[in-house]
């Protein structure tokens, strides 16, 4: 089996696994987040086969939608939607390279990581707990950043790191099929009983 065949197998398994988490996330604030990820890969195949467009063109738009799905502020969400549409149009007009799109994706994933870390900090400050779901989400977003960083540094060799990260994220897809934001909070500081 060559590297392209392995990449296709990883992509197909990932696409199937990521269809399951939205069912566990139904009714939580992260449902749309997982729904977007569930339909993203099948949508890529559809766009590639039917419309014959570069699938990396959808990446910036999809990541922005995912960020918007976890934002609490509707004002910032509206601004991000506007920026996303503008970026998607600019990418199409100027035919940015795959490397440039990966670099933009790294920035967007960093923004997503900051949002999730702020949620963890907020929960810790308010409840003195850490949420298992949010910790796993931080690891997932960090691996997403790594995938795009590997692909942008060296597109030829980095693609191996990209698909290695995707293979690892299959495990996260399985984990998110069993846990959600309501699953487990770890109490870190015991309150005094005095």
Domain residue spans of the chain: 3-187
CA distance 109 to 22: 20
Do residues 181 and 29 lie in contact, with contact meaning Cβ atoms separated by under 8 Å? yes
Phi, psi of 180 (to 5 degrees): -140, -175
Do residues 64 and 87 lie in contact, with contact meaning Cβ atoms separated by under 8 Å? yes
In the chain (194 residues long), the average pLDDT of successive 10-residue segments reads 85 92 93 91 79 73 83 69 68 72 87 92 89 94 92 83 91 94 78 58
Give residue 184's pLDDT.
78
pTM of the model: 0.85
Do residues 83 and 39 lie in contact, with contact meaning Cβ atoms separated by under 8 Å? no
Mapped onto helix, strand or coil, the DSSP state of residue 56 is coil
Q: Where are the alpha helices (DSSP H) in the chain?
A: 3-17, 21-25, 31-46, 57-70, 74-94, 98-127, 132-153, 155-176
DSSP state of 190: P
């Amino acid at each position: 089996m060559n590297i392209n065949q392995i990449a296709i197998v990883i992509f197909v398994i990932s696409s199937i696994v990521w269809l399951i988490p939205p069912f566990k996330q139904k009714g939580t604030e992260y449902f749309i987040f997982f729904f977007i990820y569930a339909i993203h890969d099948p949508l890529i195949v559809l766009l590639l086969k039917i419309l014959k467009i570069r699938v990396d063109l959808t990446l910036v738009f999809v990541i922005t939608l995912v960020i918007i799905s976890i934002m609490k502020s509707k004002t910032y969400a509206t601004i991000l939607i506007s920026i996303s549409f503008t970026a998607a149009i600019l990418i199409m007009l100027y035919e940015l390279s795959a490397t440039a799109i990966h670099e933009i994706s790294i920035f967007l994933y960093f923004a997503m990581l900051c949002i999730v870390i702020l949620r963890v900090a907020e929960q810790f400050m308010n409840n003195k707990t850490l949420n298992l779901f949010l910790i796993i989400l931080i690891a997932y977003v960090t691996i997403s950043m790594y995938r795009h960083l590997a692909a942008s540094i060296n597109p030829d060799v980095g693609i191996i790191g990209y698909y290695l990260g995707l293979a690892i994220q299959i495990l996260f897809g399985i984990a998110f099929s069993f846990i959600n934001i309501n699953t487990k909070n770890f109490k870190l500081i015991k309150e005094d009983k005095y």
